[in-house]
Chain A
Amino acid sequence: MNDFRLPLGTIVEGFIDYITESFGFLFDFIRAVFKGAFEVVDVLLVSPPFWVIIVVAAALAYFTRGWKFTLGTVVGLLVILGVDQWENAMDTLALVLVASILAIVFSVPLGILAAKSKVASSIIKPILDFMQTMPAFVYLIPALILFRVGVVPGIVATIIFAMAPGVRLTELGIRGVDQEVVEAGQAFGASPWRILRQIQLPLAMPTIMAGINQVIMLSLSMVVISGMVGAGGLGAEVVASLNRIDVALGFEAGLAVVILAIYLDRLTAALGTGGTPLGRALGSLRRRPGAPITAPEALPEPAPERSAAPVPA
């Protein structure tokens, strides 16, 4: 037994070496695209003066949750500014935005596929288990080899790490849509695409949004780890403070991460539940105000001024 050893690690290493050599051009291309995307977002966040960003963030906060959240946002961002982590925080925010948008772009369609096909679901599920439970640092190693030091390995590792809840909750959401409503779509001759667009996705939206919220949260936690491969931002500060045993820097950078995390979490959670001033505003556009919530069972009295009026689009 002593000399028997499964050469799994060697095999994976050989595989990574092989694709590095054979598909180098492909990874260079991906690297260029991801890097470009990051730089665009980063410039948008870093170049304007800090107060512009704070005003935009506060406005978003106000329209999703209300004034308490707005106040918290302004205070939190001012704290980040006060501990001199503004630029790092914006770098990290850019990284999180790019990584989570890409993760969502990959995970939602995969979730739809898994919901539509049992075969796809049974293939995707173990891969997701693998991606979610493999220690996050491990992704950094091949990412580093394939994409070299910088933000790109960080983004790639983040996408892989953060995708799983997006796929899972999209699948769960779509499978959880009342089967009778889907049947109604079919019974009236709607195509599968129309049923997806008009019935399944809207009804699964709260669950999908919960998944997206999780994707963003995981992205943020992974983005810090990717500071180790030179992704910059708050992650780099945390890694540096660890190396120098710098408690002060570590706490300040860490606090900035927490503030960003809370802001993004509350923002996306509010979008998911729909119980927001923004959501209510959208909802009230669809129907007239003052429609009674409970209805008498008998035929309602004719109300010509309402029934004859044209319906708002």
Chain B
Amino acid sequence: MTETIAVKADRLYKAFGRRPHEMVRKLTGGASRDEVASLGTAAVIDASFEVRRGEIFVVMGLSGSGKSTLIRMLNGLLDATSGTVTVAGQSITGIPARQLRDVRRNNVSMVFQHFALLPHRTVIDNVAYGLEVQGVARSERLKRASTIIRLVGLDGWADSLPSELSGGMQQRVGLGRALAADTDVLLMDEAFSALDPLIRREMQEQLNELQAELGKTIIFITHDLNEAMFLGDRIAVMRDGRIVQIGTPEEILTDPANDYVAQFVQDVDRARVLTAASVMEPVRSVVTITAGPRAALRTMRDLQTSATFVLNRDRSFAGVVRDRDVLRQVKAGDTDLRAIVRGDATSVSPDTPLVDLVEASVGSDLAIAVVDEKNRLLGVIPRVTLLAALGNVSTGTGELPVIEPPATISVKVITETLRDTALEGAGL
């Protein structure tokens, strides 16, 4: 067992009915879910996956796809009919109830769809519930619960009853209760589905922030694809009890495993899921700063564009130069590009969602530069590419690469200028 795997499910089956084991035998023998329907319901069929430490693993599917059953097998609320679940290196399948309770206390906590708070207890006592079950002394658990209450933004509500809180705040209590238990693994069962859309978005963002801070292993169940795409490091798509695809949001979006997944992702808000890195194109129009204005002008002429990206000697991104400036410099016989490099090109990191690129793209005719954390130019996103990605259509320019902005000075002028200045240079 490697340390990087927090939760592992291996060939999990769950069947409800009079003879679940017979159903599983038939299913493993290749029978379909409908063929065993007379015996009962096959809720989960042959589910295998590994959840890595510190990632958000989203299980997505419509209602009845078996995702809630699946998550309940991960902490033993439901026994698997067949297959094994491993949590923190320990198999929890078929272990005695007392041992299972220890695993739940120390390794896995859970957030519920309808919050499942204890209505007769105050917010702080709810948050401290996991610690109370763990046997932590009252003063200590209240101290730790207060910290968590602040973390989830419920300052000042510690002594209120859950019924005095709005839905979003109640779920913060639910989240706080799970965080206070201080387990590595967090199971979240449709945790935000009962909230209205604005609050849901706010909670998703807060979860992402908390996750960046705490680095828990989160298994998140949802039927909302946008939510899955927004939160998930990886997504497992379930249908009729089976996992049909596991992959990163972008893999699911750009390379769906089958028609079902493809249909599913049709409506997704691509602007929030796709990142700069997934749509960027190779940089063609580029010169190093030491190459000089003549090389820059030649590049622009060859690519029929009016601007080119400029790199420093260490390959880091310096900015752009415009054709008119270069032309003037060439005519003047100046050889230092540095004087005319403009800093007005937008540069973004590779994991910026496309939605954040739209404004920059509208505001400038330049392609957007994608740079890594060392400021090295990885690729560019011309406006056409951005539009094509958002609309889920191919750029379809065939042989010709898209290079923006288009040329503003005719090839003839450039060629003549280059020739004239070259002669002058030779004459000197």
Contact = CB atoms under 8 A, between A and B. Distances in A.
B327 interface: no
A25 interface: no
Contacts of B129: 184, 188
A90 B254 CA distance: 83
A216 B219 CA distance: 50
A293 B157 CA distance: 11
Interface stretch (B80-88, B147-155, B368-376): B147-155
B122 A287 contact: yes
Contacts of B187: 187
Contact of A203 (B108, B110, B119, B150): B119
Chain B interface size band reads 35 or more
Given A178-B116, A183-B112, A291 B159 contact: yes
Contact of A307 (B105, B118, B146, B169): B146
A126 interface: no
Contacts of A49: none
Interface stretch (B17-25, B160-168, B284-292, B347-355): B160-168
Nearest to A181: B116
A117 interface: no
A181 B109 contact: no
Listed residue (B112, B119, B146, B156) with the most chain A CB atoms within 10 angstroms of its CB: B156
Given A189-B133, A194-B133, A311-B142, A295 B153 contact: no
Given A202-B120, A293-B164, A186 B112 contact: no
A163 B166 CA distance: 41
A285 B372 CA distance: 57
A191 interface: yes
Given A293-B164, A297-B199, A311-B158, A180 B116 contact: yes
Contacts of B153: 299-300
Interface in A176-204: 178, 180-181, 183-191, 194, 198-199, 202-203
A281 to B, nearest CB: 16
A127 to B, nearest CB: 28
Interface of A is mostly: loop
A183 B78 CA distance: 10
Contacts of A288: 159
A183 B117 contact: no
A188 B109 contact: yes
Contacts of A313: 138
Contacts of A133: none
B70 to A, nearest CB: 15
B101 interface: yes
B340 interface: no
Given A178-B116, A180-B112, A180-B116, A187 B157 contact: no
B93 interface: no
A307 B133 contact: no
Interface string B255-268: 00000000000000
B113 interface: yes
Contact of A291 (B104, B160, B166, B168): B160
A248 interface: no
Listed residue (B112, B122, B133) with the most chain A CB atoms within 10 angstroms of its CB: B133
Contact of B118 (A181, A189, A291, A292): A181
Contacts of B104: 186-189
B181 interface: yes
Contacts of B130: 188-189
Contacts of B11: none
Given A203-B120, A287-B122, A303-B155, A184 B101 contact: no
A287 B114 CA distance: 23
Contacts of B108: 187
B113 A180 contact: yes
Nearest to A308: B146
A311 B187 CA distance: 29
B110 A307 contact: no
Listed residue (B106, B124, B138, B164) with the most chain A CB atoms within 10 angstroms of its CB: B164
Give me the 3 closest cross-chain CB pairs, A-B, nearest first: A189-B105, A303-B156, A189-B104
Given A180-B114, A184-B117, A199-B118, 16 more contacts: A180-B116, A186-B77, A188-B105, A188-B109, A188-B130, A189-B105, A198-B118, A287-B122, A287-B159, A293-B164, A295-B165, A297-B198, A306-B158, A306-B159, A307-B146, A311-B122
